[in-house]
Every structure is written in structure tokens, then in C-alpha cells.
Amino acid sequence: MVKSEILKSGILIGIKESYLFFRNLYGIYSHPFLTIKRIIEGKSYFQGILLFGLSIYLWLIWVFVLLFSRIFVFGRLQFGILAKSSFLLVSFFVSLLSLFLGYWIFVVWKKKGKA
């Protein structure tokens, strides 16, 4: 009985947080200042961790995919030009995403200090 209630609560919390994550992701795309301001002022720490760690998660997923494919598919840990270039390309785009999020966090922080 208790396990089913915990499972039901976990599923409902997961649905709620997933909805908030995708809403905030769309908000970052369409109006980043307002979305970041809402996250910071609302003290939504979990959503902050999810959104602001997004670039790190994407980079770690790609590193895992490269390692997994090299070790288990090809049988050796040797990287060709395609793997190296895709790693550099993903790292570049993740850096751009980090700079974009960092810029808007700085703008919100600066405006908050003046108000």
C-alpha cells in the first residue's frame, strides 16, 4: 500500500517537473530574461539545476555515446577523425549554450541588483 502511494507520488512529481522543464526550455528560447528571472525569484532550485546544467548533461551524454560505441561496438578505444570532429563540434555548441545561459543569468543578476 505504501509502495504504491510512493510510486504514484513519484510519477506525479516526475510529470510535473518534466512539464516545468520543457516549459522553461521553451521560455529560455522565446524570452530568456523573463524565464531566468522567474526561476531565480521563485527559488525553483530543481528547475535551475535542470536548466542551467543542460549543457553539461548534453556534453556528458555525447561523451558516453562515444565511449560506448568505441568500446562495445568497435571493440577498441581508438577514435577516428569523425569521432574527434563530432566531439569538438558538440563541445563547441555546448560552450555556446553555456555562454548564452551565463549571459542571461548575469543580465538578470545585474538588473536584480539595481532594483
How large is the average pLDDT for residues 42-56? 79
DSSP string of 47-96? HHHHHHTHHHHHHHHHHHHHHHIIIIISSS----HHHHHHHHHHHHHHHH
pLDDT at 92 over 90: yes
The DSSP string of 7-34 is HHHHHHHHHHHHHHHHHHHHHHHH-HHH
- Residues 81-95 have a mean pLDDT of 88
pLDDT at position 55: 83
- How many Å apart are CA 102 and CA 115, to the nearest integer? 20
Instruction: Report the percentage of the chain scoring pLDDT > 90.
Output: 3
46-58 average pLDDT score: 81
Q: Which pLDDT score, from 0 to 100, does residue 114 have?
A: 64
- For the stretch 69-83, pLDDT in tens is 888 877 777 777 888
Q: Is 43 helix (H, G, I), strand (E, B) or coil?
A: coil
- Top-confidence residue, 5 or 115: 5
